[in-house]
Amino acid sequence: MCGIVGYLGEKNTKEILLDGLKELEYRGYDSAGIAVLQNKTFSNYKAVGKLINLEEKTKDFTTKDFAVGIGHTRWATHGKPTELNAHPHVGENSYVVHNGIIENYVELKRSLEADGVKFLSQTDTEVIVHQFEKNLKIEKTAFEAFSKTISELEGAYAILLVTKSEDATIFFAKHGSPMLVGINQENEKYFASSDTPLIGHAKEVNYFEDGDYGFVSNDEIAIFSKDAKKQKPVFQAISTNRLSAQKDGYRFFMEKEIYEQSDVIADTLLGRLSEDAIHFDELDPAFFDGINEIKLCACGTSYHSALTASYMFERYAKIRCSVEIASEFRYREPLMCKDTLFVVISQSGETADTLETLKMAKKAGLKTLVVCNVDNSSMVRLADACILTRAGIEKGVASTKAFATQVTVFWMLSLYIAKLRDTMTSKKLAHQIFLLRGVPGSVKVTDTMHERIKRLSKRYLHGHGFFFIGRDVFFPLALEGALKLKEISYLHAEGYPSGEMKHGPIALADPELFTIALLPQHLLYEKSKSNVEELSARDSTICAISAIEFDKADDFIQINQCEDYMLEFFQMMVVVQLLSLEISVRLGNDVDMPRNLAKSVTVE
Ligand code: M6R
């Protein structure tokens, strides 16, 4: 995901910016850039790929004495990862870096273009610098022009802007994307989108609140709240531990990644939804010509998202769909027909078993598509077509946000194919798109929910096993909940279809068997409820997750009322992730690096 740094002071500005960007590398990015303003002259460098490319480009550029500078690492969302799309973006006399999304950039861009402004990039960010320069021509000061610009933006942002018209100042704004400013005794000012670049440089930091904007100069840190009231900075000591800073205050990467899901799902939806259609610029609609079946193939968590997808493909796009575990598919001499689209799913894009099945499908002449989180990975390079999830780097071995973005992509893809095959009315499609827009909100973790799960977790540390049960898409979610728990708690857990328990596993039921029951209000509620009642009658200890109170359960975790089963799916996904996390914490396990597991499994 994108990262921002900024510096105002007398030290080596170039090195400070590049070092700061290095500290943000772990977030993932595909291009980077810096702009330095010194003696009324701008120097700007950008490079695609790793920071080493930017270092190479700037090797003959030196800075000493006073300067202001801004830098950025970009994870492409609006426009491809090219130099032109990399930040900082330039106007006539100013540069800007930005994290987030400017939702009204199309309208702003149209009006600027009508005024004769020429755009160089495909990004939403570029409108900020042009809008600022337009306002600069009208307003009395650069700060007034900047304030006006911020008031005209809609969306989420962290912004730094530098301009020749005030060449010893950095302008900033924050709304929905993190940013902080740090200071030290040498009167230097450091900006960043998270703590790590500031460690070792700044002694104290001020975390901006949503709506804050203002400017920083040699003499002043001027912060204004969204209602234009001047605020006093609230400085606090900065952490000195880099690893904990990378976790942004969370105890574990897995916890941070669970909390990040709302943002990364929003990124995954970005630019892909309009009122009545799903857009995948990376796909040619003709790619689906002649396709009568979809086969999905993956391992682990990615396999669970594939299973979830199969319900949506058949339900919405009315296309035959089958799902395969990659390690099984490889050796069972499968029959492959040319009218089948072969889809592999992988967070890493490197999992050996999945990669091999992709090679098999290609060899058999099938069209292939990969849904992946890592651009340029082996699978992305090999498949005929690719949809990137935009989860950012996932560090926790137990996958969370990758799964969330995969399911989001599959929901979109099933609707995209539904439109191509004309299997859904436009009214229904528009409603589905409306529901998709609700996903980022549905996965937000509330303190109340997290606290409740923390408290409940102490009752689930023993016993002889867990059954996560659900029907329809809640069956793959049950599998995923059980996998999460196994991986980090080392307790035995299984995911099972609710209706299947009576065909054998119910024999295990006693108070020491823990059933985690997924009870969606909007999908087969009565049927699922009966299955849970059967287990309750046999004294299994039940933890029900539902929007509707359920009195046959020993414990109950309530999700919010919503209007569709998929929104319940996403809410319950967060609950099972947090439950696993908190059980593991209580057992004293290494949450991020559980025993025996690796993040990327490149052996068969
Ligand atoms: O990178 P991939 O999605 O191909 O990885 C597949 C599995 O190895 C992975 O999902 C694994 O099951 C995770 N540890 C699950 O949390």
Report the atom number in ligand 1 closest to the C-alpha of 299: 6
Burial class (CB in 10 A: 0-12, 13-18, 19+), 56: exposed
Nearest of 188, 214, 213 to residue 68 by alpha carbon:
188
Whether 599 is catalytic: yes
Q: Looking at the predicted structure, is the pLDDT value of residue 77 above 90?
A: no
Out of 601, 602, 603, mutate this one to test ligand 1's pocket (max ligand atoms within 8 Å of CB): namely: 601
Give the pLDDT confidence of 294-323 residue by residue, as tens digits: 999 999 999 999 999 999 999 999 999 999
What is the CA(597)–ligand 1 centre distance, in A? 10
Residue with tokens 């023993």: 462
Mean per-residue pLDDT, 91-95:
96
Tell whether ligand 1 has an atom less than 6 A from the beta carbon of residue 301.
yes
User: Which residue's CA lies nearest to atom 7 of ligand 1?
Assistant: 300
Tell whether ligand 1 has an atom less than 6 A from the beta carbon of residue 488.
no
Q: Residue 482 — left, alpha, or beta (φ > 0 → left; ψ -120 to 50 → alpha)?
A: alpha
Give the pLDDT confidence of 372-393 residue by residue, as tens digits: 998 778 899 899 999 999 998 8
Tell whether ligand 1 has an atom less than 6 A from the beta carbon of residue 354.
yes
What is the CA(312)–ligand 1 centre distance, in A? 21
Report the atom number in ligand 1 closest to the C-alpha of 398: 16
Tell whether ligand 1 has an atom less than 6 A from the beta carbon of residue 58.
no
User: Which residue's CA lies nearest to atom 14 of ligand 1?
Assistant: 398
pLDDT band of 245, cuts 50, 70, 90: low
Give the pLDDT confidence of 114-140 residue by residue, as tens digits: 999 999 999 999 999 999 999 999 999
CA distances from 35 to 157, 164, 252 (A): 19, 12, 34
pLDDT band of 1, cuts 50, 70, 90: low
Give the pLDDT confidence of 315-370 residue by residue, as tens digits: 999 999 999 999 999 999 999 999 999 999 999 998 989 999 999 999 999 999 99
Quick check: pTM over 0.75?
yes
Q: Residue 481 — left, alpha, or beta (φ > 0 → left; ψ -120 to 50 → alpha)?
A: alpha
Report the atom number in ligand 1 closest to the C-alpha of 351: 4
379, 350 Cβ separation under 8 angstroms: yes
Q: Looking at the predicted structure, is the pLDDT value of residue 602 above 70?
A: no
Instruction: Note the pLDDT of residue 588.
Output: 96
User: DSSP letters of 329-343?
Assistant: HTTS-----TTEEEE
Tell whether ligand 1 has an atom less than 6 A from the beta carbon of residue 378.
no
Give the pLDDT confidence of 2-58 residue by residue, as tens digits: 889 999 999 999 999 999 999 887 666 789 999 999 999 999 999 998 899 999 999
Task: Give CA–CA dist 278/419, Å, rounded.
Answer: 9
| Residues in the chain, overall count | 604
What is the CA(69)–ligand 1 centre distance, in A? 40
Mean per-residue pLDDT, 398-404:
97
Instruction: Note the pLDDT of residue 34.
Output: 98
Task: Give CA–CA dist 67/12, Å, rounded.
Answer: 9
Q: Looking at the predicted structure, is the pLDDT value of residue 195 above 90?
A: no
Instruction: Note the pLDDT of residue 111.
Output: 97
What is the CA(8)–ligand 1 centre distance, in A? 43
Query: Which CATH architecture fits 445-586?
Result: 3-Layer(aba) Sandwich (3.40)
What is the CA(348)–ligand 1 centre distance, in A? 8
Which is the catalytic residue, given 2, 299, 372, 543? 2
Instruction: Note the pLDDT of residue 2.
Output: 82
Task: Give CA–CA dist 163/243, Å, rounded.
Answer: 34
Q: Where in the chain is the domain with CATH 3.40.50.10490?
A: 271-441, 445-586
Task: Give CA–CA dist 115/231, Å, rounded.
Answer: 36
Q: Where in the chain is the domain with CATH 3.60.20.10?
A: 3-246
User: DSSP letters of 354-412?
Assistant: HHHHHHHHHHTT-EEEEEESSTTSHHHHHSSEEEE-------SSS--HHHHHHHHHHHH
Q: CATH 3.40.50.10490: does it fit domain 271-441?
A: yes
Burial class (CB in 10 A: 0-12, 13-18, 19+), 322: middle
Out of 351, 378, 401, 487, mutate this one to test ligand 1's pocket (max ligand atoms within 8 Å of CB): namely: 351
Mean pLDDT, the chain, integer:
93
Give the pLDDT confidence of 481-509 residue by residue, as tens digits: 999 999 999 999 999 999 999 899 999 98
pLDDT band of 519, cuts 50, 70, 90: very high
Tell whether ligand 1 has an atom less than 6 A from the beta carbon of residue 302.
yes
Mean per-residue pLDDT, 87-106:
94
CATH topology assigned to domain 3-246: Glutamine Phosphoribosylpyrophosphate, subunit 1, domain 1 (3.60.20)
Tell whether ligand 1 has an atom less than 6 A from the beta carbon of residue 352.
no
546, 529 Cβ separation under 8 angstroms: no
Which is the catalytic residue, given 50, 57, 318, 599? 599
- Element containing residue 9 per DSSP (H, E): strand 3-9
User: Which residue's CA lies nearest to atom 8 of ligand 1?
Assistant: 300
Q: Looking at the predicted structure, is the pLDDT value of residue 597 above 90?
A: no
Tell whether ligand 1 has an atom less than 6 A from the beta carbon of residue 310.
no
174, 155 Cβ separation under 8 angstroms: no
**Rg of the chain's alpha carbons, rounded to an integer?**
26
Pick from 100-109, 232-241, 346-355, 577-586: least confident: 232-241
What is the CA(476)–ligand 1 centre distance, in A? 14
Out of 305, 307, 348, 487, mutate this one to test ligand 1's pocket (max ligand atoms within 8 Å of CB): namely: 348
Give the pLDDT confidence of 137-155 residue by residue, as tens digits: 999 999 999 999 999 999 8
Instruction: Note the pLDDT of residue 589.
Output: 94
What is the CA(464)–ligand 1 centre distance, in A? 26
User: Which residue's CA lies nearest to atom 4 of ligand 1?
Assistant: 346
Q: Which amino acid is at 71?
A: G
Mean per-residue pLDDT, 395-406:
95
Instruction: Note the pLDDT of residue 27.
Output: 67
Report the atom number in ligand 1 closest to the C-alpha of 597: 14
Task: Give CA–CA dist 253/546, Å, rounded.
Answer: 27
Mean per-residue pLDDT, 549-570:
95
Report the atom number in ligand 1 closest to the C-alpha of 399: 16
What is the CA(415)–ligand 1 centre distance, in A? 26
Instruction: Note the pLDDT of residue 97.
Output: 97
Report the atom number in ligand 1 closest to the C-alpha of 301: 10
Other Cβ atoms less than 10 A from the Cβ of 457: the count is 20
What is the CA(193)–ligand 1 centre distance, in A? 29
Give the pLDDT confidence of 457-479 residue by residue, as tens digits: 999 998 889 999 999 999 999 99
User: Which residue's CA lies nearest to atom 11 of ligand 1?
Assistant: 300
Mean per-residue pLDDT, 268-273:
91
302, 476 Cβ separation under 8 angstroms: no
What is the CA(112)–ligand 1 centre distance, in A? 46
Tell whether ligand 1 has an atom less than 6 A from the beta carbon of residue 436.
no
What is the CA(105)–ligand 1 centre distance, in A? 37
Out of 357, 372, 399, 407, mutate this one to test ligand 1's pocket (max ligand atoms within 8 Å of CB): namely: 399
